[in-house]
Amino acid sequence: MNRSVLEFGLGIVITSSLAVSGAAAGSATVENLKQDYPRPHTEVWFKLAAGGQIDAAAGTASFAGQASHVGQFTTTAPINPWGGIDGTLISASGDTLYYYLFFAEDLPSGELRAYFRLVGGTGGFSNFYGGIQGPANIDEDGMFTMSVSGRINIPIIDP
C-alpha cells in the first residue's frame, strides 16, 4: 500500500471518528452503560499491547497481543464503513470480549492514537465495559502496533 492511500484512509478514519465520537458523545455516557450492565461493577486499570495488519483490499484487520484480565488474545475483524474496526478479542480460554477500535491523530501533538471501546462479551467478560487509548504506529504496508490503557468497569464477583 502506498503512503498516499494510507494517508487517505487515515484521513477518512480521523474525519469519521470525529463525527462519530461527536454524535455518540451525547448518547454513550457512563450512566447509560451502567443501565445496560446492572450488576455491581468496580473500576480497574486495563492495559493492552498488540500488533497486526490492516488489509485494506480485504477490508479487515488482524492482530494479536496480551491484555490484563484477558491474557493472550487474537482477533480478525471487518473494517466498518466509517473506518473503525468492530470485533471480538478471543482469549486463550475461549471467552470473548467485544470491542470497537479506531485510529486517530491527536491534534495537539500529532501523535497517532488507538481508541478502544470495550462493550461486553461472553464468559468472564460478559459485563466488561469502558474506554482505553494509547499510542499507535502504522506503516505504509498497514502493519501496526499499539499500547493502550485506561480504566474500565468489570463486574464484582459475589463469593
What was the pLDDT predicted at 4? Answer: 40
Domain coordinates in residue numbering, the chain: 3-155
CB-based contacts of 48, cutoff 8 Å, min separation 6: 65, 66, 67, 68, 70, 116, 132, 146, 147, 148, 149
Interatomic CA distance for residues 38 and 109, integer angstroms: 38
User: Which pTM value belongs to this model?
Assistant: 0.72
What was the pLDDT predicted at 150? Answer: 94
In contact, 88 and 75? CB cutoff 8 Å? yes
Return the number of other C-beta atoms located less than 10 Å from residue 148's C-beta.
Answer: 22
Q: Hey, what's the cell of 55?
A: 488489509
pLDDT tens, per residue, the chain with 159 residues: 444 444 444 444 444 444 444 444 444 455 555 555 556 778 899 999 999 999 999 999 999 999 998 999 999 999 998 889 999 999 999 999 999 999 999 888 889 999 999 999 999 888 889 999 999 999 999 999 999 999 999 887 665
Q: List, as one string, the DSSP characters of 95-141.
A: -EEEEEEEEEE-TTT--EEEEEEEEEESGGGTT-EEEEEEEEEE-TT
